[in-house]
Amino acid sequence: GIAVDPAKVEAVQDWGTPESVTEIRSFLGLAGYYRRFIEGFSKLALPLTQSTRKSQAFVWDDKCEKSFQELKRRLTSAP
């Protein structure tokens, strides 16, 4: 079966707030790998996904922060 690697849980918990589009994409890449375990993943990740669009300047707002924190919480807790 699939088991949670404690080192990966700690890495996600310690993940700092992204400061660039590249850092957001990196986090979304990791989170996307586990998307099947997160109900409503696409809606949760939408603010982060929108902030990575090339037509948009990088802005980290409250929606992004809430999305980021909720994804981190769900990635580090049992389903």
Distance from C-alpha of 36 to C-alpha of 54, rounded to nearest angstrom: 27
6-75: CATH class = alpha beta
Do residues 65 and 1 make contact, with C-beta atoms less than 8 angstroms apart?
no
- Domain assignments of the chain as residue spans, ordered by start: 6-75
pTM for this one? 0.87
pLDDT score of 47: 96
Grade residue 1 by pLDDT with cuts at 50, 70 and 90.
low
Model pLDDT for residues 47-68, shown as the tens digit of each residue? 999 999 988 888 999 999 999 9
Model pLDDT for residues 2-44, shown as the tens digit of each residue? 667 788 888 889 999 999 999 999 999 999 988 988 899 999 9
- Whether the per-residue pLDDT at 74 is higher than 80: the answer is yes
